[in-house]
């Protein structure tokens, strides 16, 4: 191997597909490996893009004193993330089939409410021999219905696997004490998030997740836009879903909501409050992962 014949040195590469595996293999030979996000390498590419220009840009970026590197992942950490990637794929496929079946049934006069919770009603309509679905369409709709049932079973299997992992992991158990965080979100945070020591504070972790406003500031004037949507998109989506569930409960029963959440819902649109709550949850998660302990709800003001 080429790197085996080299003396110990710094090996920098872009954090792309298979980069973590290559970094592990090269590090095993005694080298210091550094992974750089491609977006941080691009500013150093001079004029046209080619392999030589890319290599020069990576070398230049790796020597910057303020450069931020990607923390290398072990094979075990990458293996733990497979269950979430697979579940995301199956959920997207289920959504596609649900939309297809709902659309086809609507064309024949069968209107069913949206959402995965009403899949059973659609499957019953397809399997009902007394329904007036055309004979030419029924066999095809049966294929879609069977595919939906198979996906439901596979997703349920993965959910049980995730719940078992959450029950066995003490960190996940502590994270589940935060309102809005269940087994899926807690286990995903343990598997996909970098070590808490990577970030100086919870605000940096929330910014890495893309739960902060995008800045367009110049000339001393601060301009904040939409959320940046940077970082791990799966974790960001899960935290927003958890925050959305918490805000819905608070909207239905304000007495059960914290003073901060109730006040925000009274003044701001719900989606804005949802993202703000997801940001707050991310900072709480970082604090629990960095300092230990479990979540304690703030005491109500007298």
Q: Is there a domain that residue 2 lies in?
A: no
Give the tens place of pLDDT for each residue, 94-123: 999 999 998 888 888 888 877 777 788 888
Give the tens place of pLDDT for each residue, 249-271: 888 887 777 888 888 888 889 89
Give the tens place of pLDDT for each residue, 212-242: 888 888 888 888 878 887 878 889 999 999 9
Distance CA(137)–CA(144), nearest Å, equals 11
The DSSP symbol for 70 reads: B
In this structure, the answer to whether residues 164 and 176 fall within a common structural domain is no
Segments forming the whole domain that contains residue 82: 75-168
Q: Is there a domain that residue 49 lies in?
A: yes
Instruction: Work out the pLDDT band at 299, boundaries 50, 70, 90.
Output: low
Please determine, for residue 300, whether its predicted confidence score (pLDDT) is greater than 80. no
In this structure, the answer to whether residues 16 and 128 fall within a common structural domain is no
Distance CA(257)–CA(147), nearest Å, equals 40
Q: Is 290 exposed, middle or buried (0-12, 13-18, 19+ CB in 10 A)?
A: middle
Beta bridge partners of residue 13, listed in sequence order: 35
68 SS3 class:
coil
In this structure, the answer to whether residues 109 and 164 fall within a common structural domain is yes
In this structure, the answer to whether residues 152 and 203 fall within a common structural domain is no
Give the tens place of pLDDT for each residue, 277-293: 999 999 999 999 999 88
In this structure, the answer to whether residues 113 and 87 fall within a common structural domain is yes
Whose tokens are 């909501």? That residue is: 257
Q: What is the mean pLDDT of the chain?
A: 88
In this structure, the answer to whether residues 28 and 114 fall within a common structural domain is no
Q: How many CA atoms lie within 13 A of 243 on its CB side?
A: 23
pTM over 0.75: yes
Q: Is there a domain that residue 298 lies in?
A: no
Q: Is there a domain that residue 58 lies in?
A: yes
Domain count, the chain: 3
74 SS3 class:
coil
Q: What is the pLDDT of residue 302?
A: 44
In this structure, the answer to whether residues 285 and 195 fall within a common structural domain is yes
Q: Bigger pLDDT: 24 or 113? A: 24
Enumerate residues 6+ apart whose C-beta is below 8 A from 174.
288, 292, 293, 294, 295
Q: What is the pLDDT of residue 1?
A: 66
Whose tokens are 């733990």? That residue is: 80
Enumerate residues 6+ apart whose C-beta is below 8 A from 245.
180
Distance CA(28)–CA(47), nearest Å, equals 35
- Most distant pair of Cα atoms in the chain: their distance: 77
Instruction: Work out the pLDDT band at 89, boundaries 50, 70, 90.
Output: very high
Give the tens place of pLDDT for each residue, 32-59: 999 999 999 999 998 888 999 999 999 9
Enumerate residues 6+ apart whose C-beta is below 8 A from 119.
98, 101, 148, 152
Give the tens place of pLDDT for each residue, 183-215: 999 999 998 888 888 889 999 999 999 998 888
In this structure, the answer to whether residues 42 and 123 fall within a common structural domain is no
In this structure, the answer to whether residues 162 and 203 fall within a common structural domain is no
């Amino acid at each position: 191997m080429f790197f085996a014949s080299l003396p110990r040195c710094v090996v920098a590469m872009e954090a792309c597909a298979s980069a973590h595996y290559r970094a592990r293999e090269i590090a095993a030979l005694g080298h210091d490996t550094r992974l750089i996000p491609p977006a941080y390498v691009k500013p150093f590419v001079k004029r046209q893009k080619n392999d030589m220009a890319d290599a020069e840009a990576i070398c230049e970026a790796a020597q910057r004193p303020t450069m931020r590197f990607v923390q290398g992942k072990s094979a075990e950490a990458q293996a733990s993330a497979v269950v979430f990637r697979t579940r995301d794929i199956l959920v997207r496929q289920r959504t596609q089939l649900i939309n297809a079946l709902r659309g086809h049934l609507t064309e024949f006069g069968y209107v069913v409410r949206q959402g995965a919770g009403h899949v059973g009603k659609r499957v019953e309509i397809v399997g009902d021999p007394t329904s007036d679905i055309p004979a030419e369409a029924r066999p095809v709709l049966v294929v879609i219905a069977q595919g939906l049932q198979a996906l439901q079973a596979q997703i349920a299997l993965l959910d049980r696997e995730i719940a078992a992992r959450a029950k066995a992991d003490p960190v996940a158990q502590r994270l589940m004490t935060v309102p809005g965080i269940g087994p899926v979100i807690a286990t995903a945070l343990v598997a996909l998030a970098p070590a808490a020591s990577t970030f100086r504070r919870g605000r940096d972790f929330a910014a890495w997740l893309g739960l902060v406003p995008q800045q367009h500031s110049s000339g001393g004037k601060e301009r904040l836009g939409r959320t940046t949507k940077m970082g791990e998109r799966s974790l960001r989506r899960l935290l927003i879903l958890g925050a959305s569930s918490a805000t819905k409960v608070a909207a239905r029963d304000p007495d059960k909501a914290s003073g901060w959440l109730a006040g925000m819902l009274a003044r701001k649109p719900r989606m804005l409050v949802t993202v703000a709550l997801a940001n707050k949850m991310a900072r709480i998660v970082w604090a629990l992962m960095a300092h230990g302990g479990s979540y304690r709800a703030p005491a109500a003001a007298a």
